[in-house]
Amino acid sequence: MKLNVKAKPTVKRKVNKNNPSKSINLNIGDFEKSVFFSVLEYEKTSNAYGVAIQKSLATRLNRPYLLIGNIYNSLERLEKKGFITSYLGESSPTRGGKPKRLYKTTSVGRKAVYDIVKHFDEIRDRVVLCPS
């Protein structure tokens, strides 16, 4: 019996002509975008960490029961794509001496999201939107 195995979809990359090894991965889902924007939002006022991002998203997306595992999976994917970096903060007695893992955006991540937003702005400018 032969099994039909589909090939994995290729990852869309924006090729950097000056240095192809520094291509930007633009394959980012809607939830990952929301997580990225939460990290970006927290950079202005405080540190971004898992639970804070979860609370922010739960409010913004009107989804009170977001699983923290989904947040951490998205953070891990964003870090692998080079959109964010993580580091360990200071340990605190309230956490039993364990440090928080904190997240911040990278210039690559901000540039990629800027390109995505710019692309949608260009599309919006070509389409006539009618209020309903």
What pLDDT score does 25 carry?
Answer: 56
Contact present, 84 and 104 (Cβ < 8 Å): yes
Could you read off the pLDDT of 8-53 as tens digits, one per residue? Answer: 433 444 444 554 434 555 678 889 989 999 999 888 888 898 999 9
Domain containing residue 90: CATH number: 1.10.10.10
Tell me, yes or no, whether 7 lies in a domain.
no
Residue 39 belongs to some domain of the structure: yes
Give the integer Cα–Cα distance in Å for 24 and 71: 22
* Residue 6 domain flag: no
Q: What is the pLDDT of residue 72?
A: 95
Half-sphere exposure of 111 (CA within 13 A, CB side): 11
Each residue of 70-105: pLDDT tens digit?
A: 999 999 999 999 999 999 988 888 888 889 899 999
* Domains contained in the chain, number: 1
Domain that holds residue 57: 28-126
User: What local confidence, expressed as pLDDT, does residue 132 receive?
Assistant: 65
Domain assignment present for residue 35? The answer is: yes
